[in-house]
Amino acid sequence: MEKPSNSPALVMDRAYENDSTRQLALDLGFVPVVPPKINRLAPWEYDREMYKRRNEIERLFRRMKGFRRIFSRFEKLDVVFLGFVVFVLIVDALF
């Protein structure tokens, strides 16, 4: 599996490290950033620093779920839901 040099990274959990998922990411033009499982016979190199930052994304989603309207999905229209998601991201950035 050859890595495209100027492609965006796709940071994935270790559960998605199988060959078919990684190949699909490459086919779609992404560079998969996922560590190999420890029992892999032929492990690969990955961007360790970028993978360490994956928890920042998970913490952001956890903070967003603190807003009841996000996890309950009260809004019927997608545009209203997206507007509230943007509002939550702005509030998160300010505090």
Residue 2 confidence (pLDDT) above 60: no
Within a 13 Å sphere around the CA of 54, how many CA atoms are in the beta-carbon half?
Answer: 16
CA distance 93 to 87: 10
7-11, 28-32, 65-69, 84-88 — which is least confidently predicted?
65-69
Of 88, 92, 62, 60, the residue nearest 75 (C-alpha): 88
Q: What is the pTM of this model?
A: 0.63
